[in-house]
Structure 1
Amino acid sequence: MSLPPEATIEDVKVRIRKSMRNPHIGKVEQAVLREGPRAFRLATLFEILNPGDSSHHHYTLRLDSIDKKKTGWFHKPEKSITLEANEPDEISRLYRFLTAHLAGTLSEASGDVRIISSAEYKKLENLLELLPNLASPDMVEILRGILPRISDAGSYAKDFSEALESSDPDTVEHLGVAARWVQHKREYERLVTLIDSGESREQAYQELLTQNPWMFGSEYSELLDRRTWTRDDNLDFMLRRTSDNYLEIIEIKTPFRDSLMLKDKSHGTYYPSSKLSPTIGQVIGYMEEIERSRDTIISKDGYDTLKVRARVIVGRDGDPSEQEALRNLNAHLHRIEVLTFDHLRRIAERVVNVFGVKESIVSHQSEVDEDIPF
């Protein structure tokens, strides 16, 4: 490759991109590693696509050396190199090597290096030879020490999958349950933190629940990826029920501390507060609009909104008399149920505890409302 002296480094980049002969090129990214005054070195990362469906196949990394002289720009092929992220994945191996170097873990190493020094690698080989003779609890302890030290795990997803594919099915199942429990527990703790902090932004709860629809309970089989069902409405959530496949609206508010049910002292009865009543009215409006649009929704989307039900999640529990009053209100509402954020927390707790955990992850297990469906 040669270019006239008036060419720029951008012209050189273009020439490198055009020099790739593979016709199945996707995204191309470039970086100047060394810039002049005479010697230039550029890195070009080519995405290679599958010929059939143009999906991602692998990456190719080219490191090119270019000289800039008075007579022009000249490519130096003897000082250029190409790495493939295919079989084997040379790019990932180089990345891991450089990451280990920058982290300082290779500072005392000499000779051949496999992310760790050859001497340390020999110790690892010896450990692998001993593993078949170790009891399973000992292997778990070794795993306990290894996992916290693995960083950037997303880069090794394929390697994790291959390792698990060759493992005992029961072991894979137990690991899957444990991993899901840890993930659910962390998300549950996020929910508890939001509720206890009195977070007043509905969006914070919507984002958390969108990422973790299991918190609504096992009576729902699917969170539909759609919020607009009629022209003027924008629902928080629409879920499919597990038992009958019908749809159910869930409207999220905030866990304010104000009472949801107020007492009429002259009659000794309770009635919905000014914060609860508008929310119920809002949901009734949603239900009416969706039912009026049932035929259109069925014909266009294939969802049947017949007798759609709704849940409102709002406020906190209140004292025992207020909780009883709310339960009584729910008994008289038609196809609408009002739950507090404490109800939601207890439902999510039950889901977490399903994963074989004997001890409750909260201290007040006795507070669980047995009427909460799950």
Structure 2
Amino acid sequence: MSTQPLSAYKILDLSRVRAGPTAVRQLSDWGAQVIKVEIPKDQSDGDDATDRSDYQNIQRNKRSIAINLKDKDGLQILKQLVETADVFIESFRPDVKFRLGIDYETLKQINPRLIYASLSGFGQTGPYKNRPGYDQVIQGMAGLMSITGLPGQGPVRAGIPIADLSTGLLLANGILIALLERHSSGQGQYIETSLLAGQIFMLDLQAARYLIDGEVPPQAGNHHPTTIPTGTFHTLDGHITLAASTQLEFQRLCKILDREDLASSSDYLTPKKRSLNREKLNNELETILMGKPSQYWIEELNKAGIACGPINRVDETFADPQVKHLQLTARVEHPRRGPIDVVGQPITMSRSQWLVHRPAPRCGEQTREILNELGYKTDEIEDFINRHVVYSCS
């Protein structure tokens, strides 16, 4: 771990749910030392959510300390951790950090080099700042659900929590920028983003269609909204997805399909014409593609330089030989579940390596260990536990 690129940095993670932990995962997998600061929990019912697959995938590579931040001794412990931290991440409602006395202006007096990152549903200011923000609500508000799904079927959510995940990745990017800037300034700074802002950023070409062209994008189903033909088609035994939107690609496609007349048709002669007549063209292509099995078309189209692939289930995705070659999973030993596989990082570097080196912790699993590192004696730690200043599950 000492040779990983971010191993010199210490992160205090007070984030919850998914977006904040996604940002932290981007840093911890590359070596950042993460302490997850949690609210003490009653786990006497035996239902430990930390053992679940989703939690293990997103919360790995952390140590956990559970602190009662409403207790003055608990608050003092957190401030001691802040003294040597590089990054502080929180996802409370905007006013909570001020009520607890752990806002940026307060903590930068303790550590001027601290990079403080706030993540919320709608932003730290504005008319919606105190609303609870969850991924599906944001998908709807940010316009994503209006452009997802088949034309006319009504709003459809994405199959993953895309607002949470993309906002977390964007926040990690902001933290890395702030760390780089600190090398020259010597100063920390405050960063904030929101699920709403992140999801609107991810609208990308659809946002540009409205902002620049004044066009409100409709649902386009499994077909690309602007480049034709690009989409999903029935075959003899299933479905494929293909992309042949440039002039050369479209001509090659028509040749392979033995329908070169389509390439010269006045209805499909240019990208603009194909867009205007997209439904008619897609129907003609699908009629031909239904004559042979998916694997035939995948092989033939790829040989001709036309992007084409299967519509995999998740199990088929991880069984794919190219996916296996890319080594996109990592195995970690879990104390109760045994060896488990989690999704790894999609980036490879010539000298640096990401690493999943520990499973996600139980709430307060390393409380004693972390307090020892801060210099507290065993009897002091036991006193904290007995007075409910901290919680330890170990």
| TM-score, normalised via structure 1 length | 0.22
Greater RCO structure (CA 8 Å; 6+ sep)? 2
Q: Greater strand percent: which structure? A: 1
Larger of the two Rg values belongs to structure: 1
